[in-house]
Structure 1
Amino acid sequence: MADFPRNPLEKDGYILEFNDDFDDIALDTEKWVPYYLPQWSSREQSRPRYTLADSALVLQIEANQPPWCPEFDGDVKVSSIQTGLFAGPVGSQIGQHQFKPNLVVREAQPTIRTYTPQYGYFEARVKTDNRPGSMAALWMIGFEEQPERSGEIAVFELFADQMTAVTSEVRYGVHPWGDPTLRDAYFREVLPMDATEYHIYAIEWTPDHIDFYVDNLKRQTVRQSVTYPMQFMLGMYELPGEGVTPQEQPRQFVIDYLRGYQPVRGY
């Protein structure tokens, strides 16, 4: 098996509106918020470990890295970046991606929108770690200034325990997370590919459906849609479990690029 090649930057019938090739010597904070849901923890605890090398972003989990939010998420370790940030006052339960019912804002946060599109074609070229406990994902989530606008589109999720040298399970789909207009539509598909090599994962999000792609081939169409702006969450995780131990060499999730397009004629 081998890396799937990069797509051309230009896409017929579409206008490029967001692109990060990670060519700079530092993360572009005009595009990215360098924390993971910091309202439920703190900016210091939720900051990502990463390097920029060979024109790629390398998100890492280091051996001595502490859990990002032990109060609410146990021993899970995360290195993640996002394109928006919203939370209510300290002590409130107002904030993005309420993954548990008892979450409380622990640190005040500024409101930030770097890229929060509504509809479009989005793709990422990535490769990831296959050591036990590793997980990599690209999600879109609602900005949640209105709490019911909380849906999630999972562009992809890659779990190390579902990867071999010749097959990898790719998970993708839609989760309501409290949005009453959505229903759960989540898929697990084993594909003949090695996710430790570069592959392209993409969605086309329209007003009435969402198409999911792997390596430019459509894998699934979901006949429902999120109807409000969303932000990106791009992250590497260490999930606790049997056989999961700190690694001498950092776990790595390598992102070649993330792109966002809009159709020339609209939807």
Structure 2
Amino acid sequence: MSSKLWVPSYLPHWTTPERARARYALLRPGIELRIDADQRDWRPEDAPLRVSNLQTGVYSGPVGSAIGTHRHRADLEVRTETRQQLLFAPSRGRVDITLAASRGSNCMVAAWLIGTEHLSARDSGEICILEIDADAIGPATRVRSGIKAHHDPRMTTDMAEVIVPVDASQPHTWTAIWGHGETVIGCDGRLLRRIAQAPDYPLFLMIDLFEIGPRGGTYPKTATVHQVRGWQH
């Protein structure tokens, strides 16, 4: 997926530009997302939480409003109004993400398709392709995957933890295919979840490296995004 389709910030409308800005490096294998020792918490209210994220668009209302993509807390207010960008926001389609997860202490790697909410605040459902905690990685890896309804009353949250027989700190390809009332999630061609529901509105793709909890261990903590491919149906 072209670099022109990515915004290197995590939900920048809910915080300030410096706190939202991703730390990353362009390397031969791909994009290395980093958590650095001096990185600030994404929002003081969410501390301790540091994140480097790539997402395929942004949307918010005016400063002081509660209008914007991914209202995952009731107390969120827009701090930085962001110009609407729908760089890649399919309502139905497929994404393939090849990445190597972090084994850094207190880290989590995630890949989500999130309702943009630019047409309606109800359009907030999420396809959680993967959430992988560093301490869940080994010869096999525990992965959280499924659907989160958030503020969409038309959907039902359906999350599950699955055991995938891969070491997720090595490059593996994770896939989501959704549309016509069904979501399929897989890894390296292996079916992980088949769910009889799917958001039917525009979604941004987000790929994140989080450090959740107190600082510690060796920095930088890293995860590598080797390749992302996306199709709109």
> In structure 2, which of residues 29, 49, 55 is the aligned counterpart of residue 76 of structure 1?
49
CA contact (8 A) 1:59 1:80 kept: yes
User: How many residues are matched?
Assistant: 232
Match of 2:198? 225
Aligned runs of 1:25-174 on 2, under 5 Å?
Answer: 28=3, 30-71=4-45, 73-145=46-118, 146-164=120-138, 166-174=139-147
Shift of 1:167: 1.6
Question: 1:191: which partner in 2?
Answer: 164
Normalising by structure 1, we get a TM-score of: 0.84
Q: Sequence identity of aligned pairs in percent?
A: 31
Partner of 1:261: 231
> Which amino acid in the other structure matches residue 200 of structure 1?
T
- Unaligned regions of 5+ residues in structure 2, if any? none
Q: Contact 1:64 / 1:246 at 8 angstroms: preserved in 2?
A: no
Alpha-carbon contact 2:104-2:222 (below 8 Å) kept: no
| Residues 97, 228 of structure 2: 8 Å contact kept | yes
Give, as a single letter, the amino acid of the residue that structure 2 aligns with 1:249.
Y
**TM-score normalised to structure 2 length:** 0.96
Larger radius of gyration between Structure 1 and Structure 2: 1
Distance (whole Å) between structure 1 residues aligned to residue 231 and residue 82 of structure 2: 29
Structure-2 separation of matches of 1:250 and 1:108: 30
For the aligned residue pairs, the C-alpha RMSD in angstroms reads 1.3
SS for the counterpart of 1:161 is helix
Moved segments of 4+, more than 2 Å: 244-249
Counterpart-to-counterpart distance in 1, 2:160 and 2:173: 17
Secondary structure class of the residue paired with 1:45: helix
Residue 200 (str. 1) matches residue 173 (str. 2) = yes
Q: Deviation of residue 126 (structure 1)? A: 0.5
Counterpart of 2:13 in 1: which secondary structure? helix
